[in-house]
Amino acid sequence: MDASPRRAATTPATPSSAVVTGAARGIGRGIAELMVARGFRVVVTDVDGEALARTAEEIGAAEAVVQDVRDPDSHRRVAEAAARHGELTAWFANAGVGDDGALADLGDDQVRKVVEVNLLGAAWSIRAALDAFGSSGGDVVVTASLSALGPVPGLSLYAATKAAVVSLASSVALEAPRGVRVHALCPDGVDTDMVAGMDDRGLGKRLVASGGRLLTVEEVAAAAVDLVGSRRVVRTVPGWRGAAMRAGQLAPSLTGPVLAAFAAQGRRRLRS
């Protein structure tokens, strides 16, 4: 991680556009709303066209594009849409899915969807953004997860895709041309529909709940937007949870008892 001083996203002096994928609800909507408030002309995308249209109207987005992020051509069309509204300077690769459960219990279609949406969707987004940024450069912010930084039984496939996304962002940050910055945001559990829809009896949901208060969408959206203009590559929210997760990654064989204690704590909190 790079702890260099950052420059938060501010109102652009000339018309600038931004893209937010997975923006119909949750973190994506929060990011898009904040970028609109800061003066960017925001193109929002989502696979749920009806919800996307409502969001675009309510937050004042420049354009809504129905998109399945698994389709690489769709990202090129989104970049073209953004170019109609100003110079593209920020792309938030936020779309993601997260079926919980042990890997052995997930169906073939579930496995394929999680990998293609979370990893390939991010890769297509990053590639399209790098190709579309102009001489002013720009920022790509990928929504990853705290689960990327250590073992998370019950969310093993989701965590694996997010770990791959962090690795991808870290590597591309060094490949990117001058003036282009790539970031990965790793939030702890967030109060979203995805987390609410997880099985309360499952280990994954219990571990998510073990951290105490779920982060709000507003907190995570602000952290994502604050990465724009900064040189920081990976940011965890909150920071202390990142350190704890990395400790587990260094010695995964020793983390079983710790995870069991966290799961028990999460179960108690879910019952309260």
Which residues are tagged catalytic?
158
- Are 114 and 159 in contact by the 8 Å Cβ rule? The answer is no
Cα–Cα distance measured from residue 179 to residue 134, given in angstroms and rounded to the nearest whole number: 10
Number of H helices and number of E strands within the chain?
11, 7
Structure tokens at 126: 């990053």
Structure tokens at 14: 């000339």
- Are 244 and 232 in contact by the 8 Å Cβ rule? The answer is no
Q: Which helix (H) or strand (E) holds 225?
A: helix 217-226
Find how far residue 207's CA is from the centre of its chain: 19
Evaluate the CA torsion angle 120, 39, 50, 30 in order and state its sign.
Answer: positive
DSSP 136: T
